[in-house]
Structure 1
Amino acid sequence: MSASDIEIYILDASYEVIGGEPHIVIWGIDRDGRRVLLRDRRFRPYFYAIIDKNFYDKIDILLSSIKRLSRPRSPITSLEIVDKKFFGKPVKAIRITTMLPEAVREYRDDVSKIPGIERVVEADIRFSMRYLIDNDIYPCTWHRFRVVERPRSGEYRVDAEYEVIDILHRVEEFVPPRLRVLAFDIEVYNPRGIPKANKDPIIIISLYNSDGEYIEFTANDKDDRNLIKSFIDYVLKYDPDIIVGYNSNRFDWPYLIERSRFLGIKLDVSRRRGVEPSPSVHGHISVPGRLNVDLYDFAEEMSEIKIKSLDEVAEYLGVMKKSERTNVPWYEIYRYWDDEKLRPILLRYARDDAISTYGIAEKILPFAIQLSSVTGIPLDQVGTASVGFRLEWFLIRIAYMRDELVPNRIEREYEPYRGAIVLEPKKGVHEDIAVLDFSAMYPSIMMKYNIGPDTLVKDPEICKEDKCFEAPETGYKFVKEPSAFFKIALEILVKARKIVREQLKKYSVDSIEYRVLDARQRALKILANACYGYMGWVGARWYCRECAEAVTDFGRETIRKAIDIARNLGLAVIYGDTDSLFVKYDKEKIDKLIKTVEDVLGLEIKIDKIYRRVFFTEAKKRYIGLTDDGRIDVVGFEAVRGDWAEIAKELQEKTADIVLKTMDPKKAVEFVRNEIEKLRKGVSEGSIPIDGFIIWKTITKPLKEYEVDAPHVVAAKYLEKAGYRVEVGDKIGYVIIRGSGKISDRARPYINVDVRDIDIDYYIEHQIIPAVIRILGYFGITEKHLKTVGRTGRSLFDYRK
């Protein structure tokens, strides 16, 4: 067959070993919307051995020593001497190529023991990722290949199969083809609490697809064989490119896999016939040929959402309001299934779960797809990878482009270092306050002062004749030339983001192009902002504590200088934190401040928001602001912490809203009193939901290792006695009930408590009043004012600045 050029949107890449030969397999979609498979037989695994400088004249001996290690199963096929850089310094290395990817680890250990080999590197880069990096191929991006079409083998569920002859180039187009997306959710029979796959059947599988169709499969009473088979048949029929779930990597997929195995059913849902879903890197479940995306991984990064349940996230993202969806307590699913009258409610609950999951996917996938195409990590792995790993894969690509060898990951002890500057706030209520933010302060500092492990100076003699930048407090020095590895990476990210932001101007806000490009610029921004934190992460390949410390050092100096400039212009500085300044709003003076900062410090600063009023306690990182558009920002108070009951957080936020909008503490006191009375009545009558009283706390170690029985530990032990499995990392929801003894003794899992048993006095005394007093106490209001009728203390106006 003759060769032709083809453009493919890359979904994923993996490899297979056939006849002792590794084959790269690329899954994609062509311009005609056909699902295709590309096979590349030409690529081979390799790694590098850096040569000790003292052995440069004995390289032949080293090559002979390495050749003798060759094994028949996966022979060493080539040894090549190459000139590379390692942390910016020139080195000579041996590129060692073999046949099987698995053999790289074996050879790595043997080669590292040879005298004259300083270190072995890049042996831990996965084979399929190595192929993508070396050939400048990015997932979730269009690429052009020269191929020969091959007859379909029958092993793959694709429309066409091709052999790669040449990799041509990346196509600068970011809008994906029409992707088939399938959301799924399972409900499991659970009479013993946490279900077990060898005992408890799956009773409902609910699905929602990108054609707007809802599909539901149910068990025959407690026989789930046909349910699982129907699910398999549907997946193969609909043939999704992306399968999304919520917490599916941790529950739905593992349970489906184990349950199918127990029943003797082959969970054959992938595009490679006979290959079932299985655990893979970063903890995700791999479904060959399809991209399995667990949306929970992205929700975990949304710090604004304290409880990451599906219904909470769906409401936060505007997908489905909690008040409009059907809710069933998870611990009562079995009861709703057994009761014919309640079963329709459970089915509606399952439907709402699937629809919510799909709705969340619509919000998250555009960003996730761009994050994948920027970092080079396949879409099904980019969510499960940490921010550090996402950045690292991008840096590995930059290293390849720059002939830099990639350092090994080394286990290190955490080393603390001094952080950013935080000013003491001016206590009280301030009106008309502008918040000024430095744009990407830390990335800008890294570029301006050429900071990186490869430019860090160990020998002060190098810095003569003004050849170095010096951090003002720590004294760390960095050569001005050549450009640091991180500076190069940041310049690439900043330039790419600038281009994307320019392209954004060409499209209307509601266009698909705008949404895609906006998601891309956000992904680029996140990677750039991660560079500073990455250098101080002990798991980083390019770890450099001194570098991270120098960045915060320059950052503190920058903030101090900006404060001096502001004060010289006659602007009152109320507060400062890391890369932000709170100043009295005066448009003319602020315009001068922005220009002077940019001229003198060479960094961009701009107005982030303006508060009509902002209230500071004497504590750092703790304030409440009323924005120009009437929103309330709560920073550092109970209202944003996860270990307080929802009623305390809600009342604190509403109290803040009242005092900042009305400037009348009496109204806030009256509101709190009324709410307390409503709560008392609601608890005694059993007329309010228990949800608002639940306190959530995470189990951080095995229960037997806790020396003191804290309330959440006591509640967790009750759960274990009831047959539930409690593991490290689980969030335990508990409530405090009436009775005698310590608070811990009266903690119970919320799942088996009637709201009438709640100790409302505990919640009033230890949750609600402390939460609202944190605000009202600064205005002369005491607990007594909240518990008694009468006039309160001073007016809030007495506290204005």
Structure 2
Amino acid sequence: IINDLQNGNDQTRRRLAVYCLKDAYLPLLLLDKLMSVANNVEMARVTGVPIAYLLKRGQQVKVVSQLLRKAKEHGLLLPTQRPGQGDEYVGGTVIEPQRGFYNEPITTLDFSSLYPSLMVAHNLCYTTLLKPEDISASGGIGSLSAKYNLGPDDYIRTPTGAYFVKKHIRKGLLPSVLEQLLEARMKAKREMATETDQFKRRVLDGRQLALKVSANSVYGFTGAQVGKLPCLEISSSVSGFGREMIETAKSLLEEKFTIGNGYKSDAKVIYGDTDSVMCKFGVSTVEEAIKLGREGAEYISGKFLNPIKLEFEKVYFPYLLINKKRYAGL
């Protein structure tokens, strides 16, 4: 039909020209409506990669780019030789579900960007890791005092047995990268909170989710055994701290919200998965569950290092818990 229009008269060629104009103009309207250019420019600015990489490549190139940028600022070079295949490590904790149908409010509390926050809070990085040869079998951790002049308050031991120096000794590159990503995400969320146009709110929500994925991918980057720069000590330490967070949150909720402390019922965590816990406070209304959920989130957040934060997410009522990672609610 295009050939017929082209080979016809002035009017048919005019129809073809109008069609071509619309074909070029409508994608521009979509780009503007979806804020695709603005979002990709912002992501390219934060991660330091060309826009084409955002469209054609995965997450690892973003992490490498940000690491290279931070390494240059500190006069460091990234190694190009990849280590061999390492051991596997244990992932996040899944608290054994209390299966059943709950015709009462169930409150969900969620750690905000748990794994990135853990890496920032505990300064987990290639540049802060103390190597096994630095901690001799004969001298143990005490050998650090002689070699690096480090005291007990200058380093941490992770749940998996790795050692990292604290921020006041040396701030890691990965925490710096993550702080930048998390700040960009918070900026998008602040803009979303004040935006009145519902469509633009959805676009901003997409931007903050993309930044969240980029931040979470830093953890995956360190754990990818066939990746650019794997480091089992970092990835296993992060998941180890994550398991501790979930278990601690469960204990704190069940210790604080009890009849003995003046609450209506003893709280019970009925399920927990990686970065969230689901708690039964024993109340009958959604409003009460929301209030207690927010109180619990604030209380528990105060027990952890900054920027680790537990947030109230939602209330299910009713709630059906079938098995691990299999539940439904309204």
| Aligned counterpart for 1:508 among listed residues 179, 187, 196 | 196
Give the Cα–Cα distance (whole angstroms) in 1 for the partners of residues 26 and 51 of structure 2.
9
Q: Which residue of the other structure, out of 110, 128, 133, is the alignment partner of 1:455?
A: 128
Q: Which residue pairs with 1:576 in the alignment? A: 272
After TM superposition, the structure 1 = structure 2 runs for residues 352-391 of structure 1, keeping only pairs within 5 Å, are 363=34, 365=36, 367-391=39-63
Tell me the distance in 2 between the aligned counterparts of 1:375 and 1:453. Answer: 19
- In structure 2, relative to structure 1, the CA distance for the partners of 1:218 and 1:415 (3 Å cut) is farther
**1:610 aligned to 2:312?**
no
Aligned equivalent of 1:621, options 315, 325, 330: 325
Alpha carbons 2:127, 2:173 under 8 Å: kept: yes
Asked if 1:566 is matched to 2:237, the reply is no
Q: Is the 8 A contact 1:476 1:546 kept in 2?
A: yes
For the residues of structure 1 that align with 2:192 and 2:273, how far apart are their CA atoms? 31
Q: Distance in 2 between matches of 1:560 and 1:501?
A: 29
Q: Deviations over 1:280-331 (max 9, x none)?
A: xxxxxxxxxxxxxxxxxxxxxxxxxxxxxxxxxxxxxxxxxxxxxxxxxxxx
Offset of residue 415 of structure 1: 3.6
| CA separation of 1:219 and 1:445: change in aligned 2, threshold 3 A | farther
**Residues 614 and 560 from structure 1, CA distance in 2 versus in 1: closer, same or farther, beyond 3 angstroms?**
same
Distance 1:588 1:218, change over 3 A: same
Q: Name the structure 2 match of 1:87.
A: none
**1:530 corresponds to:** 217
After superposition, give the CA deviation of every residue in 1:657-685 in whole Å (9 maximum; x if it has no partner): xxxxxxxxxxxxxxxxxxxxxxxxxxxxx
1:484 Cα deviation after fit? 0.9
SS at match of 2:69: helix
Over the matched positions of the two proteins, sequence identity in percent amounts to: 29
Whether contact under 8 Å (1:370, 1:519) holds in the other structure is: no
Q: Distance in 1 between matches of 2:124 and 2:151?
A: 18
User: In the alignment, is residue 482 of structure 1 matched against residue 170 of structure 2?
Assistant: yes
Q: Does 1:593 align with 2:296?
A: yes
Task: In structure 1, give the amino acid aligned to 2:221.
Answer: Y
Secondary structure at the counterpart of residue 466 of structure 1:
helix
Distance across 1 between alignment mates of 2:23 and 2:83? 42
How far did 1:536 drift?
0.6
Partner residue, 1:497 = 185
SS in 2 for 1:546: helix
1:446, distance to aligned residue in structure 2 (A): 0.6
Contact 1:571 1:589 in 2 (8 A): no
4+ aligned runs moved over 6 Å, structure 1:
236-244, 358-361
TM-score if structure 2 supplies the norm length? 0.73
Deviations 1:529-552 (A, max 9, x none): 221111111344332111000001
Report the aligned-residue RMSD: 3.5
Q: Deviations over 1:626-683 (max 9, x none)?
A: 22xxxxxxxxxxxxxxxxxxxxxxxxxxxxxxxxxxxxxxxxxxxxxxxxxxxxxxxx
Which whole-Å CA distance do the structure 2 matches of 1:515 and 1:398 have between them?
32
* Matched residue count: 282
Change (3 A) 1:360 1:488: closer
C-alpha change, 1:590 and 1:238, in structure 2 (3 Å) is closer
2-structure distance, mates of 1:403, 1:241: 47
Q: Is the 8 A contact 2:86 2:232 kept in 1?
A: no
Q: Scaled by the length of structure 1, what TM-score is found?
A: 0.32
Quickly say closer, same or farther: Cα 1:421–1:239, change in 2 above 3 A. same
Cα separation, 2, equivalents of 1:490 and 1:594: 23
Task: Say whether the 8 Å CA contact 1:409–1:540 is kept in structure 2.
Answer: no
Structure 1 pair 517/600, CA: closer, same or farther in 2 (3 Å)?
A: same
In 2, the alpha carbon distance for the partners of 1:219 and 1:377 equals 45
2-side partners of 1:620 and 1:510: how far apart?
35
Query: C-alpha displacement at 1:429, in angstroms?
Result: 0.8
Quick one: which of 73, 81, 100 aligns to 1:401? 73
The equivalent of 1:551 in structure 2 is 238
Per-residue Cα deviation, 1:485-534 (whole angstroms, up to 9, x for no partner): 1111112222333344444455433586x676555433332222221111
Return the letter of the residue paired with 2:55. G
The match for 1:342 is none
Unmatched tracts of structure 1, length 5 or more: 1-215, 221-232, 245-357, 628-801
Q: SS of the counterpart of 2:252?
A: helix
Question: What letter is aligned with 1:622?
Answer: R
Quote the residue 1:434 is aligned against.
107
Q: In the alignment, residue 234 of structure 2 is paired with which amino acid?
A: C
- The separation in 1 between residues aligned to 2:299 and 2:321, in whole angstroms, is 28
For residues 405 and 432 of structure 1, do their structure 2 counterparts lie closer, same or farther at Cα, with a shift above 3 Å needed? same
Paired residues for 1:11-26 under 5 Å: none
The aligned counterpart of 1:444 is 117
| Structure 2 CA distance for aligned equivalents of residues 576 and 434 of structure 1 | 11
Q: Confirm or deny: 8 A CA contact 1:407 1:541 kept in the other structure.
A: no
Judging changes above 3 Å, is the alpha-carbon distance between structure 1 residues 400 and 242 closer, same or farther for their aligned structure 2 residues?
farther
* Larger strand share, 1 or 2: 1
Which residue of structure 2 lines up, in the alignment, with residue 99 of structure 1? Answer: none
Counterpart CA distance in 2 for 1:418 and 1:560 is 15
Give a deviation string over 1:28-73, Cα, whole Å, max 9, x none.
xxxxxxxxxxxxxxxxxxxxxxxxxxxxxxxxxxxxxxxxxxxxxx
Displacement after TM superposition at 1:426 (Å): 0.8
Q: Does 1:424 align with 2:86?
A: no
Q: Are the structure 2 counterparts of residues 579 and 240 from structure 1 closer, same or farther at C-alpha, using a change threshold of 3 Å?
A: same
Match in the other structure for 1:753 = none
Q: Pick which of 365-374 and 459-468 moved more.
A: 365-374
**Could you tell me which amino acid in structure 2 is paired with residue 621 of structure 1?**
K
Displacement after TM superposition at 1:409 (Å): 6.0
2:158 corresponds, among 446, 460, 471, to 471
